[in-house]
């Protein structure tokens, strides 16, 4: 049922001590819908408070100086809700945007179909667009958001924004590229965060280079993340040391390391400049057509063809009777799914295990559980262990749509679609 006053009054009946495990999950979902409904009511009130403050400005005029002198709604909200001034100002801004420009998103929140952070994501992502384009993006997202988590919503928004405003997206990318910088923050316990704000295509190449080098390091009791950090340090510090010592060029990796492979999925018409549709950069998400062409035609780029089904956007196309997938099959499954196939997991597929949905028959490989893309899916180690050893979890994959369905021990079913290269 849609949340509202009539349903809210019976929520106290959801006593966890009297519910089965299945009932507790259902109750959790019902409560979450009501949380969204209550937050939508807060949005309405915050928007009304903001409108009252705007109307009270001298002569109905508005500019930053006048508002700063007359509008203290932010302080009232901060005190009433025990928030910082910055957080209160953000809540007011989001309410103003949702009430004025995104009625569909606000309606979804009120119906409990999306969470508050998804609504915030819409206002933040679309802030760079004019109202007409923002409405176009909201309309494109309205049917998708109820089935997405917040992180997935933000990625989908980025793609729709690039699609709706390709030239603006390219212009904003060029502006941000000029602002690239190193970042270095001290942290507790003698640690520090070190990195850079840089173009996505460069970050992808660096990620691949770090992963490739980390794979060459001995374990020595280190986790994968520890090896990646050590690999980054080695690539930066020892590259400089080696180059200084032997006079090699700074562009050469020590030890003759191979160049990293960066995967970009891009339509042919984008490559030849006939379209400005967004492309997909592995490990990041949507990028502009200009970025895709820059990567595609860079020196040393290796092209690998991926064929997609034009109506569904699903990757199409493998030796089925061996337990270990062939290199081609492995590349296919990783490219098709992109991430762990558990619905909420964001672990990149290339860091996952390739799991047989139907167990491989080691005694009679031809009898079932074959090693083909339709029977394989990337699973991070945690979800692989859960599927294999935890009683009650079941996974199926629709061979026509590619949708993976996970059934929990409580009987609840959760679906996860394959990556759509058209969206």
Q: What is the C-alpha to C-alpha distance for residues 168 and 402, in angstroms, rounded to an integer?
A: 34
What's the predicted TM-score (pTM) here? 0.72
Answer yes or no: do 224 and 334 share one domain. no
170 part of a folded domain: no
- Burial classification of residue 279, based on how many CB atoms lie within 10 Å of its CB (0-12 exposed, 13-18 middle, 19 or more buried): buried
399 part of a folded domain: yes
CB 92 within 8 A of CB 50: yes
CB 145 within 8 A of CB 118: yes
Q: What does the pLDDT read at residue 137?
A: 97
Q: What does the pLDDT read at residue 4?
A: 94
- Which residue's structure tokens are 């692989």? 384
66 part of a folded domain: yes
Answer yes or no: do 86 and 145 share one domain. yes
Q: What angle do CA 45, 50, 53 make, to 5 degrees?
A: 130
Answer yes or no: do 12 and 157 share one domain. yes
312 part of a folded domain: no
Give pLDDT tens digits for 116-136. Answer: 999 999 999 999 999 999 999
Q: What does the pLDDT read at residue 252?
A: 44
Residues 6+ apart with CB under 8 A from 1: 7
CB 338 within 8 A of CB 292: no
178 part of a folded domain: no
Answer yes or no: do 38 and 137 share one domain. yes
- Which residue's structure tokens are 């290269």? 421
Low-confidence ranges of the chain (pLDDT < 50): 248-260, 318-323
Answer yes or no: do 283 and 374 share one domain. no
Residues 6+ apart with CB under 8 A from 412: 22, 25
At 375 the three-state DSSP class reads: helix
Answer yes or no: do 236 and 288 share one domain. yes
Q: What does the pLDDT read at residue 249?
A: 44
Q: What does the pLDDT read at residue 45?
A: 96
Q: What does the pLDDT read at residue 319?
A: 41
423 part of a folded domain: no
Phi-psi region of 368 (alpha: psi -120 to 50; beta: other; left: phi over 0): left
In the sheet where 394-397 sits, what is the strand order?
394-397, 404-407, 413-416
Answer yes or no: do 88 and 156 share one domain. yes
Residues 6+ apart with CB under 8 A from 223: none
Torsion of CA 409, 359, 263, 201, to 10 degrees: 30
| Distance from chain centroid for Cα 149 | 9
Query: Looking at the DSSP assignment, which residues form a beta bridge with residue 182?
Result: 196
- Report in angstroms the alpha-carbon separations of 140 from 46, 157, 186: 27, 9, 41
At 300 the three-state DSSP class reads: coil
47 part of a folded domain: yes
Final residue of a structural domain among 252, 271, 304: 304
Residues 6+ apart with CB under 8 A from 319: 326, 329, 371
321 part of a folded domain: no
CA nearest 263: which of 336, 165, 340? 336
Contacts 24+ apart (CB under 8 A), 310-319: 310/422, 312/401, 312/402, 312/420, 312/422, 313/420, 313/421, 313/422, 313/423, 314/401, 314/402, 314/418, 314/419, 314/420, 314/421, 315/418, 315/419, 315/421, 317/373, 318/372, 318/373, 319/371
Answer yes or no: do 153 and 17 share one domain. yes
Total domains in the fold of the chain:
3
Question: 332 is in which domain, residue-wise?
Answer: 327-416
Q: What does the pLDDT read at residue 101?
A: 96
Answer yes or no: do 262 and 115 share one domain. no
Query: Looking at the DSSP assignment, which residues form a beta bridge with residue 280?
Result: 265, 286
Q: What is the C-alpha to C-alpha distance for residues 368 and 165, in angstroms, rounded to an integer?
A: 48
Answer yes or no: do 351 and 291 share one domain. no
State the number of CA atoms in the 13 A half-sphere of 94 facing the CB.
22
Q: What is the C-alpha to C-alpha distance for residues 244 and 242, in angstroms, rounded to an integer?
A: 5
Answer yes or no: do 105 and 232 share one domain. no
Joined together, the tokens standing for residue 58 give 């001298």
Answer yes or no: do 213 and 154 share one domain. no
């Amino acid at each position: 049922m849609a949340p509202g006053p009539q349903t809210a009054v019976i929520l106290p009946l959801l006593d966890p001590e009297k519910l089965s495990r299945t009932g507790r999950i259902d109750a959790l979902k019902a409560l979450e819908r009501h949380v969204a409904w209550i937050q939508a009511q807060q949005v309405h009130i915050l928007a009304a408070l903001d409108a009252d403050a705007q109307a009270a400005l001298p002569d109905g005029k508005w500019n930053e100086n006048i508002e700063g002198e007359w509008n203290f709604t932010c302080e009232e909200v901060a005190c009433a809700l025990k928030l910082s001034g910055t957080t209160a100002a953000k809540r007011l801004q989001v309410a103003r945007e949702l009430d004025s420009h995104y009625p569909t998103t606000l309606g979804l929140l009120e119906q409990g179909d999306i969470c508050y952070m998804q609504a915030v994501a819409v206002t933040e992502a679309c802030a760079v667009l004019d109202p007409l384009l923002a409405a176009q993006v909201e309309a494109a997202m309205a049917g998708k958001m109820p089935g997405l988590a917040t992180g997935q919503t933000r990625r989908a928004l980025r793609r729709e924004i690039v699609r709706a405003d390709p030239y603006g997206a390219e212009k904003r990318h060029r502006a941000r590229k000029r602002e690239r910088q190193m970042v270095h923050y001290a942290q507790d316990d003698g640690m520090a965060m070190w990195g850079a704000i840089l173009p996505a295509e460069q970050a992808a190449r660096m990620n691949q280079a770090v992963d490739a080098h980390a794979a060459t390091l001995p374990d020595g009791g280190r986790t994968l993340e520890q090896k990646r950090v050590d690999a980054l340090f080695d690539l930066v510090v020892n590259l400089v040391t080696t180059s200084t010592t032997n006079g090699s060029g700074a562009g050469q990796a020590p030890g003759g390391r191979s160049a990293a492979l960066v995967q970009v999925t891009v339509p042919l018409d984008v490559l030849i400049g006939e379209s400005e549709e967004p492309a997909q950069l592995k490990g990041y998400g949507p990028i502009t057509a200009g970025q895709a062409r820059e990567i595609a035609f860079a020196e040393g780029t290796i092209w690998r063809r991926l064929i997609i089904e034009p109506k569904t956007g699903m990757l199409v196309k493998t030796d089925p009777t061996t337990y270990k997938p062939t290199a081609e099959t492995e590349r296919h499954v990783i490219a098709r799914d992109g991430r762990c196939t558990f619905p909420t997991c964001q672990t990149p597929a290339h860091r996952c295990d390739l799991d047989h949905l139907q167990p491989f028959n080691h005694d009679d490989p031809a009898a079932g559980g074959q090693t083909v893309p339709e029977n394989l899916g990337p699973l991070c180690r945690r979800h692989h262990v859960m599927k294999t050893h935890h009683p009650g979890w079941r996974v199926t994959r629709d061979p026509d749509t590619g949708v993976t369905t996970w059934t929990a021990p409580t009987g609840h079913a959760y679906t996860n679609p394959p990556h759509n290269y058209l969206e």
